Amino acid sequence: GEDVEQSLFLSVREGDSSVINCTYTDSSSTYLYWYKQEPGAGLQLLTYIFSNMDMKQDQRLTVLLNKKDKHLSLRIADTQTGDSAIYFCAESPSYNTDKLIFGTGTRLQVFP
Amino acid sequence: EPEVTQTPSHQVTQMGQEVILRCVPISNHLYFYWYRQILGQKVEFLVSFYNNEISEKSEIFDDQFSVERPDGSNFTLKIRSTKLEDSAMYFCASKLNRGGNQPQHFGDGTRLSIL
């Protein structure tokens, strides 16, 4: 079945890079997304990548997709304390469905 | 930037009571969704809605749940007879069209607490 997994926690020092990893099981995934959730807030779309792409860069964010290994990562350059949040990986499993399958979320804590 | 708005932010209801969660999707969006997140668990898909009918629903979305778009702006989720296990954060989402290159935009959620 469809499953998306992430590590639960990541701590980094301000100014360092953060890399949040995600693995998924569905080989027919079409799009993969990264959402950010700050305390008490909703799910904010950060970026997304089509499954036939390997990489996408958007300012401080770099998404890498290894479709063979079903591995997705989000790199945040020059991490700031304002980046502290929970980051969710999500996949759109196939062209036949519109639902999103979410990972467990990775809590990123940035220390000054 | 346009956003999805949800009301109320927190709803407390007695078990067995009906509850209606409200959402105002982004105005030109055509596809609407509800998800829920039980505390400490993953965000789970409940239902998608397009052209005034349900497109897809999950196993969670049983006969106790219903959705409606009563006018041109609101999109509601009703739970007929709430159970303790319905306590969760409920997220509404909308998107412009069906393609994956149009991502879903989420509201801030309604925290539902069943007593």
With tokens 């701590």, the residue in question is: A11
Q: Is B40 on the interface with A (CB under 8 A)?
A: no
pLDDT in tens, chain B (115 residues): 779 999 999 999 999 999 999 999 999 899 999 999 998 889 999 999 999 999 999 999 999 999 999 887 899 999 999 999 999 999 999 999 877 678 899 999 999 999 9
pLDDT in tens, A66-112: 999 999 999 999 999 999 999 999 998 777 788 999 999 999 999 99
Are B86 and A26 in contact by the 8 Å Cβ rule? The answer is no
**Contact residues on chain B for A44, CB-CB shorter than 8 A:** 106
Tokens of A69: 């290994």
B106 — phi, psi (to 5°)? -105, 150
Is the Cβ of A31 closer than 8 Å to some Cβ of chain B?
Answer: yes
Cβ-proximal residues to B41 (8 Å cutoff; 6+ apart), any chain: none
| Interface contact A99, partner B, CB < 8 A | yes
